[in-house]
Amino acid sequence: MPAGAAGPGLDRSGHGPAPVRRIRDKALELPRFAEGTSPTVLLTLGTVFSGERALAEFSSAVADAGVNVVATLGSALVRPPTTRHRDNLQHIPFAPLDQLLDHVDPVVAAGGSGTMLGAPSRGVPMVLCPQGADQPSNAALAKAAGVAIVVDSPAELTDAVAWALQDQVMRARVARVAAEIADAPTAS
């Protein structure tokens, strides 16, 4: 590819991946929902697997659990996919995970590294539906650690979210993991 030409997913040189849009140091206000007493679930498919069709399927399945859903668009989508849910589903642009985790319970994700490190560090249980790359092995490790429920398809998400909201054993385990992480020495 000639220098300066960029193919899909490539930077301007045509050699490496295009830079991912990052939002830093911007205060994020989460959407408000009509049903303020329902739990709010974060749905994030990360920066790679957040295609429109997948996000629509995941969003609908999670919203069917009767929870409020904040779904991130990832780095590739500009507008939300069309779904049948309106009152309990809000899409937001890509946002740093650390700005979202204190306001949600649980997190539904594909199991990328950012979610796998972020959610347990805040004591947030996860429902994982791996899509590719390192996600299946990440999900297996999270399940073995007792901090996640793992499903094979979006069709299983509705029941898994309902279970995650009630699973006191998983909640206790993820709280212990969060305490272990907090007690660990820092990199500095």
Average pLDDT of span 56-72 = 93
> pLDDT, tens digit, for every residue of 15-63?
545 444 444 556 667 777 776 788 999 999 877 666 778 888 999 999 9
Per-residue pLDDT at 156 exceeds 60: yes
Could you tell me which residues are beta bridge partners of residue 41? Answer: 69
Kindly report the CATH class assigned to 40-183. Answer: alpha beta
Cis peptide before 19 (omega within 30 of 0): no
| Of 50, 67, 64, residue with least CA distance to 109 | 50
Copy the structure tokens of residue 41. Answer: 């679930």
Q: What is the pTM of this model?
A: 0.81
Per-residue pLDDT at 3 exceeds 90: no
